Chain A
Amino acid sequence: MIQVIRERHETPESVARRLCLAGGTNRYGEANYRAVWGWNRLGWIGGKFEDRDGRGDLIREVVELRWEPKYPQLNRWHVERWVPAEAYGSPRAWCAQTMECAGGRSVAALGPYPERGEYEHCFTLQGSRGEFVQLTPTIAEHVARAIEWARGRNPAAQRAKLYEREAREERAYEEWAFEVMDDGTPAFGGVPMVAVG
């Protein structure tokens, strides 16, 4: 029996091109947006790893730097956006923030400083119940445009929207609660029907 343990996919050229057109390019001439398959997207993870067996029992502890899948959803397409190096602070600050000491060794928990910037996660392509959704150029472009649109919003308006959402959820609860409490009430609140005409 063949068991697939790691499924890899390259991003279709048509999708990459549409994302590039929608989001433009960065200072290195690379696309601001890109789509990657979960298993293809690896990142540095450094520190003390506790390797466990299938039952969760500890097998060994080892201090090292590993090149591992970056996102938890491995069998999904992800849309990423390029973030410039300055967003990660100075190399010195990066070192101070990410260096971990374990077993007498110092390890950069996120690997070396991203001096050419780094692509960060924006969106996992999946349905509302977490089901797989195939990546198409139209979807990719839509996601990129949506993110660009959100970036252009006034922060104050964004903040107001978040509080509006919370208030809306509060109102929804109240309406639901009163409906629950009233579901034993006769139709029209018990008011007798009146013939008209």
Chain B
Amino acid sequence: MPAQANANVIALQLEKVRDKVPLLYERDDILLTMIQQRGDIEKVSSRNMRLPLQVNPGGKAGSYNADGGDLGRGSGTIYDVAQVSPIFFRFAIEITKLVEYATTGRERAVENSTKREVANGMKQFRAFLDKLIQTAGNGVLGTISSFATTTWTMATPPGAALVYVGQTLQVYDSTLTTNRGTCNVVAADPISPTQTITVDANPGGLTNGDVIVHDGLSGAQPTSLFGIKYHQNNATTGTWLNLNRATYPVQLQTPRVNAGNAALTPANVRLAINKVRKALGINHLSKLIAYMAVEQEHAWENLGITVSQIIKEGGGGGSNDLDLLFTGRKTMSGIPIKSSVNADQTRVDFLDLSHWGRAVLKDIDFYEVNGNTVFPIYGASGGLAASYIFYFDTAFQVWSDSPRSGAFIDTLARPAGY
């Protein structure tokens, strides 16, 4: 009987924390988890989930001649079916034997380091998926506007906001046809105006205008998580959830306000909100949130017509009962603001999340093979390497059953200093 290795008991340690994984994942503080798994939808199988949509009303209205006139024929409501199929995502965590040796306290220390890796890994996985939900459904995380050796200057939006250090990226040409190869991010600067990322080695044939996508995608025009820019889109060509946008150019179009590279104004906001009201009813705004990057939240503050968060932190005349009114409820023309460092820096999206949902094939959990959740790594010799690996995986897709229930402002200028 071989000696028991940590890799043999690490599975037990992971088992101890297993029930906490969904808790870490489903915390309601990022856009991804604000979009709920819908209780009215069955867990989907590997077949497409079908969303029946009422695309056109039925009935023929008109006057008629009661003195023997022809009342004419009628018509019925027209439905079509949108379809979504889940995408599998994984997050691999690899721990070396040194972690075990470097921590004191034997099993307890190992268990704590495992727990810490689970917590850190889950945070990073959630962040990765939240970054994906900002995209247009093709996995594109950025566009390389220029490069100098292995430092790439990224076009804004989204700049370097959607990558993290250590992430494996793939580079495609601008038409998403040619996969130029992979690289790893060694540095990323999403804050400064230059918006650069540095990689370990450039893929062959790298060209200005190439795009970066996340690891795991393959083939031309890959499909990834359907994000905000997929569902909140005013295109009249292409497909949306397997429906041809050209067939329903009005029904599938999200109202857009083009800011023309100018700064955010109250008029932009009112135009966008009013477009929703005109389409859905004057009082149909109660569920909207204004989703934007921190930059646009700052632009809104710069207009000087909102109560900034700073007040709560000490500037508003000290703490008293009135400060309860300022508990983070910043609004944009009465619509609650939800901001994110991952959101497009030049957009404001008005989202009605009651029309959004997640079609889930597999809930977040450890990847499991015959009851095993942790796996050894093998060295080049074929012997064991001094490390082990475990994975989180999940399979889902994001859908919206009413693209017209939102609106967006795009091509906004970023405030000075970004």
Interface residues of A, Cβ cutoff 8 Å to B: 43, 45, 47-52, 56-58, 66, 68-74, 78, 81, 83, 87-89, 94, 97-98, 109-110, 118, 120-128, 133, 138-139, 142-143, 145-147, 149-151, 153, 155-159, 161-163, 165-166, 169, 173-174, 176-178, 180-182, 184-185, 189-190
Which residue of chain A is the closest to B331 with respect to CB atoms?
A124
Complex contact B271–A110 (CB within 8 A): yes
Complex contact A69–B270 (CB within 8 A): no
B370 sits at the interface (CB 8 A): no
Complex contact A52–B306 (CB within 8 A): no
Complex contact B20–A181 (CB within 8 A): yes
B380 sits at the interface (CB 8 A): no
Complex contact A143–B325 (CB within 8 A): yes
Complex contact B115–A110 (CB within 8 A): no
Residue B324 contacts which of A128, A149, A166, A173 (CB distance < 8 angstroms)? A128
Residue A146 contacts which of B266, B288, B307 (CB distance < 8 angstroms)? B307
**Chain B residues, Cβ within 8 Å of A158:** 298, 301-302, 308, 310
B1 sits at the interface (CB 8 A): no
Complex contact B108–A146 (CB within 8 A): no
**Chain A residues, Cβ within 8 Å of B266:** 83, 87-88, 118, 120-121
- Expressed in whole angstroms, the minimum distance between the Cβ of A84 and any Cβ of chain B is 11
Complex contact A177–B331 (CB within 8 A): no
Which residue of chain A is the closest to B288 with respect to CB atoms?
A72
**Chain B residues, Cβ within 8 Å of A120:** 266, 303, 305, 333
Complex contact B317–A150 (CB within 8 A): no
Residue B282 contacts which of A69, A88, A147, A190 (CB distance < 8 angstroms)? A69
Residue B274 contacts which of A109, A128, A185 (CB distance < 8 angstroms)? A109
Given A150-B306, A178-B116: A121 and B282 interface contact (C-beta under 8 Å) = no
**Chain B residues, Cβ within 8 Å of A56:** 280
B52 sits at the interface (CB 8 A): no
B225 sits at the interface (CB 8 A): no
Interface size on B, residues (CB 8 A): 70
Segment at the interface with A among B23-31, B66-74, B389-397:
B23-31
Complex contact A181–B270 (CB within 8 A): no
Report 19 cross-chain contacts, Cβ distance below 8 Å, ordered by A residue: A45-B277, A47-B275, A57-B77, A71-B334, A72-B286, A73-B334, A88-B267, A94-B267, A97-B271, A128-B325, A139-B325, A145-B317, A147-B307, A156-B417, A161-B309, A166-B294, A174-B123, A177-B122, A181-B118
- Expressed in whole angstroms, the minimum distance between the Cβ of B24 and any Cβ of chain A is 6
**Chain B residues, Cβ within 8 Å of A185:** 112
Complex contact A122–B306 (CB within 8 A): yes
**Chain A residues, Cβ within 8 Å of B260:** 97
Complex contact A166–B305 (CB within 8 A): no
Complex contact B17–A181 (CB within 8 A): yes
- Expressed in whole angstroms, the minimum distance between the Cβ of A132 and any Cβ of chain B is 12
Complex contact B310–A181 (CB within 8 A): no
Complex contact A142–B310 (CB within 8 A): no
- Expressed in whole angstroms, the minimum distance between the Cβ of A136 and any Cβ of chain B is 10
- Expressed in whole angstroms, the minimum distance between the Cβ of B265 and any Cβ of chain A is 7
Given A149-B315, A162-B309, A178-B119: A97 and B298 interface contact (C-beta under 8 Å) = no
B278 sits at the interface (CB 8 A): yes
B415 sits at the interface (CB 8 A): yes
B149 sits at the interface (CB 8 A): no
Q: Tell me, in angstroms, the Cα distance from A189 to B107 when the chains sit together.
A: 12
Max chain A Cβ within 10 angstroms of own Cβ: one of B23, B324, B329: B329
Contact with A along B277-321 (1 / 0, CB 8 A): 111111101101000001001100111111111110101110000
Residue A127 contacts which of B29, B277, B324 (CB distance < 8 angstroms)? B324
Residue B316 contacts which of A47, A88, A145 (CB distance < 8 angstroms)? A145
Q: Which residues in chain B, 120-172, are within 8 Å of chain A measured between CB atoms?
A: 122-123
Complex contact B119–A180 (CB within 8 A): yes
Given A47-B275, A177-B123: A72 and B315 interface contact (C-beta under 8 Å) = no
Residue A150 contacts which of B108, B116, B310, B324 (CB distance < 8 angstroms)? B310
- Expressed in whole angstroms, the minimum distance between the Cβ of B387 and any Cβ of chain A is 21
Complex contact A72–B285 (CB within 8 A): yes
**Chain B residues, Cβ within 8 Å of A118:** 266
Which residue of chain B is the closest to A76 with respect to CB atoms?
B334
Max chain A Cβ within 10 angstroms of own Cβ: one of B17, B275, B310, B311: B310
**Chain B residues, Cβ within 8 Å of A155:** 298, 302, 415-417
Which residue of chain B is the closest to A118 with respect to CB atoms?
B266
Complex contact A138–B280 (CB within 8 A): no
Complex contact A166–B341 (CB within 8 A): yes
Complex contact A181–B322 (CB within 8 A): no
**Chain B residues, Cβ within 8 Å of A73:** 334
